[in-house]
Structures are given as structure tokens and as C-alpha cells.
């Protein structure tokens, strides 16, 4: 079998694998990226595109803040138009949950300690600041430096930039086995090619379980499909991303309007998704539920027609937190997988942290809470 060698092999060309490859090359490390499909066509290309930091566990904010700084100059550093709009993000609560005023205020004071500044508005002040909200909206937490980007183009732009800088990027090439032989990982693909490297990064999204199991580590990712829709264009009047905070799944929608006028809506209930077929179904009931909630959040959008719906295969770990960092069982093995709802925003930060770990052996960004040890501990 023909074999190629590099310093690092990355499995999976979603936003995590593409960003990791990009930042490894920026450090002069030779890297091979292997993608079964086309770059960024799975979860990363079907994402809503939110660059939201607020609402995450506080322990995730240093990483999200690092990512935020990278997003601010990513378009320029890639030399590609990835439609980053840092036009703000508002989390809102409805009047039947007045406790959210206190919750948002408390969260804002904790977030400020990590460098994320939020402003909490209520009642009249909120409706003057954001006049498009429906009358049921009671409280809003505003994050002025967050926003959104176009998820369909980000991972491929990162992989193209990495490739132009010397990375070996292979599309339509699935990894069929990965083992450690002596000091090196040996990765075999369905194209009959072999790749060797002393470091291996598993960034295979919802498909990462079996790759981790090959090294004795069990993550237990399950797949679901968040439902998305996009409307016909309307005059551009909603600049920040919006998201509803509620324990009721049907109510939990989020939306963004792009400068071209279309409104993209996600959230409410999720559908089944399959890693075998790579498909996630859109259940029309979810779309109807989103439209009911859309009218409640921004009544002016009630008459817009939907022009497309879609979903994507998203991988959820048992505790909803990603797996980032070193393997506990195999030297040279790293994970960047198990990202569900907030993965798009984290992509550049995760890529830079993994590249830093491989290059220097350490990182200043706290990632202990995301170690694979928490799942190894429960599986023995």
C-alpha cells in the first residue's frame, strides 16, 4: 500500500478539522486532512451560523472569547468573503418567566469576569432599543460584539487557505481504520491509501464514536437534526441575532436576518438524524412550530413565505459538552468532536487550541472541563 507521512493527520473536514489544519500550517507543521465527503458539507455546512457566546456554561467562555477574537479578523486573514457580521446577539425571555431578569443579570456579572460584556434591558427600555420584539418579550440580554457568519462557506475557506499554505487536503476519502504502530499512527482510507504521522486529531463530528473506540475510548455521541428554514427577503431591519431562552423546546427559536433580507430561523424541536445515511429529516411539524413562535417573537415577520427548509447531522455527547484535548489512553492522539449547538462559534478557537497543544504541549485556554476523561471514567 502506498503510504504518505506528515507530522499530523486530521480526520474530518468540518469546521473543527479545517480550522485545526489551518492553524497547524500557520505554525509550520506538516498536516494531512482526510474528509469522507466534501469539506464542510455535514454539520458545519448546514449550521445556522450563530456566533453566540452568551448562554454557554461560564467554563466555555474563555474558549469562546478566544474564538470571537479570531472571527473578527478571519475573513481578512483567509482572504475570503465568509460574511461575518458582528452585529450583536440578543437572548430574550417572555413575560411568563420573570425569573429570567435575575438569571440574565447574574449571568452577565459572571460573564464580565471572563471579558464578555453584556447589557440587560427590560420592559420599555428593551422595546425602545429593539422595537421589533412582540409584546410578550420581557427581558433581553445584549451581546454587542457577537453576530453571525455564513456557515456554508467557512470550513471550505479555511481548508482552501490551509491547502494554499501547504496542507495536504483530501476530499472524498473516508478513513476506514486508524491504529498506532510503534511511534506513529497508521490511517487507512477507502481509496487504498495509507497515511502515517506521530499525531492524530479526531474531528469527525457525529461520526467520532468508532474512531475513539479504536483507541479504547468511548464517547457515546448520539445524532439529532436541528430544523432550519429561510424566508423570502424582506427589508433589512433586524441586525442582531435573536434567541429565546425557555425550558419549553417548542418555544426555543433563534433567528438572524442577512443584509440581502432573508430571515433564517432555527430551533424549536429537533428531528431524527442518521450517521449511516448522513441525512437529517425535516419534520414539517417542526417548521410549523417555528413559524408560530416566529410570530410571537417578531410579529412583523408573520407574513413571510418560507423558501427552503433543511437540517443536518449534529452529534450530542451525553452531557452536551464537547470533547477537546488529549486522549487519556494514547500519546499523540487529540480530540475535537462532540460539538452540538455552539460548535460553529467555537471552531476557530478550537482549531487554534489543538494546534497550540500539538506544537507546544500546552495551552493557556482552560479546556479541562472538556477532557475525554469524563466519559472514560464512566466506562472504566
Ligand X SMILES: Cc1cc2nc3c(=O)[nH]c(=O)nc-3n(C[C@H](O)[C@H](O)[C@H](O)COP(=O)(O)OP(=O)(O)OC[C@H]3O[C@@H](n4cnc5c(N)ncnc54)[C@H](O)[C@@H]3O)c2cc1C
What residues line the site for ligand X (CB under 6 A)? 11-17, 34-37, 41-44, 46-50, 174-175, 203-207, 226, 228, 266, 311-312, 314, 337, 339-345
Please identify, using beta-carbon distances, which residue of 48 and 375 lies nearer to ligand X: 48
Please identify, using beta-carbon distances, which residue of 126 and 151 lies nearer to ligand X: 151
**Measured from the CB of residue 101, what is the shortest distance to ligand X in angstroms?**
25
Please identify, using beta-carbon distances, which residue of 138 and 196 lies nearer to ligand X: 196
Please identify, using beta-carbon distances, which residue of 265 and 301 lies nearer to ligand X: 265
Please identify, using beta-carbon distances, which residue of 78 and 138 lies nearer to ligand X: 78
**Measured from the CB of residue 299, what is the shortest distance to ligand X in angstroms?**
23
**Measured from the CB of residue 187, what is the shortest distance to ligand X in angstroms?**
9
Please identify, using beta-carbon distances, which residue of 138 and 324 lies nearer to ligand X: 324
**Measured from the CB of residue 175, what is the shortest distance to ligand X in angstroms?**
4
**Measured from the CB of residue 42, what is the shortest distance to ligand X in angstroms?**
3
**Measured from the CB of residue 179, what is the shortest distance to ligand X in angstroms?**
14
Residue at shortest CB range from ligand X: 343
Please identify, using beta-carbon distances, which residue of 138 and 211 lies nearer to ligand X: 211
Backbone phi and psi for residue 373, each to the nearest 5 degrees, phi listed first: -55, -30
How far apart (Å, rounded) are the C-alpha atoms in residues 255 and 250?
14
> Is 257 in contact with 297 (CB distance < 8 Å)?
no
**Measured from the CB of residue 15, what is the shortest distance to ligand X in angstroms?**
5
Amino acid at each position: 500500500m502506498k503510504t504518505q507521512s506528515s507530522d499530523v493527520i486530521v480526520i474530518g473536514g468540518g469546521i473543527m478539522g479545517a480550522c485545526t489544519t489551518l492553524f497547524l500550517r500557520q505554525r509550520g507543521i506538516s498536516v494531512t486532512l482526510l474528509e469522507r465527503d466534501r469539506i464542510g458539507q455535514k454539520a458545519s455546512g448546514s449550521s445556522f451560523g450563530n456566533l453566540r457566546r452568551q448562554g454557554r456554561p461560564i467554563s466555555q467562555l474563555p474558549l469562546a472569547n478566544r474564538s470571537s477574537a479570531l472571527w473578527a479578523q478571519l475573513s481578512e486573514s483567509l482572504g475570503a468573503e465568509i460574511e461575518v457580521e458582528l452585529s450583536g446577539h440578543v437572548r430574550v425571555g417572555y413575560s411568563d418567566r420573570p425569573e429570567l431578569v435575575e438569571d440574565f443579570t447574574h449571568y452577565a456579572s459572571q460573564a464580565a469576569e471572563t471579558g464578555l460584556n453584556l447589557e440587560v434591558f427590560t420592559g420599555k427600555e428593551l422595546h425602545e432599543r429593539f422595537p421589533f420584539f412582540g409584546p410578550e418579550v420581557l427581558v433581553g440580554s445584549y451581546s454587542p460584539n457577537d453576530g453571525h457568519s455564513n456557515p456554508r462557506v467557512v470550513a471550505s475557506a479555511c481548508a482552501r487557505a490551509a491547502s494554499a499554505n501547504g496542507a495536504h487536503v483530501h476530499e472524498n476519502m473516508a478513513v476506514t481504520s486508524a491504529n498506532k504502530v510503534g511511534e506513529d499512527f497508521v490511517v487507512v482510507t477507502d481509496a487504498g491509501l495509507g497515511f502515517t504521522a506521530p499525531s492524530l486529531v479526531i474531528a469527525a463530528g457525529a461520526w467520532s464514536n468508532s474512531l475513539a473506540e479504536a483507541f479504547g475510548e468511548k464517547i457515546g455521541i448520539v445524532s439529532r437534526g436541528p430544523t432550519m428554514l429561510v424566508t423570502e427577503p424582506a427589508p433589512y431591519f433586524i441586525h442582531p441575532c435573536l434567541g429565546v431562552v425557555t425550558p419549553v423546546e417548542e418555544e426555543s427559536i433563534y433567528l438572524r436576518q442577512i443584509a440581502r433580507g432573508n430571515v433564517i430561523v432555527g430551533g424549536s424541536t429537533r428531528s431524527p438524524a442518521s450517521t449511516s445515511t448522513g441525512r437529517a429529516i425535516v419534520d414539517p411539524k417542526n417548521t410549523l412550530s417555528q413559524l408560530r413562535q416566529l410570530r410571537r417573537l417578531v410579529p412583523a415577520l408573520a407574513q413571510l413565505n418560507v423558501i427552503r427548509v433543511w437540517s443536518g447531522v449534529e452529534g450530542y455527547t451525553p452531557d452536551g459538552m464537547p470533547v477537546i484535548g488529549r486522549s487519556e489512553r494514547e500519546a499523540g492522539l487529540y480530540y475535537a468532536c462532540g460539538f452540538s449547538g455552539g460548535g460553529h462559534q467555537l471552531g476557530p478557537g478550537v482549531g487554534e487550541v489543538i494546534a497550540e497543544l500539538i506544537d507546544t504541549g500546552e495551552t493557556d485556554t482552560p479546556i479541562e472541563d472538556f477532557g475525554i476523561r469524563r466519559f472514560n471514567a464512566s466506562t472504566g
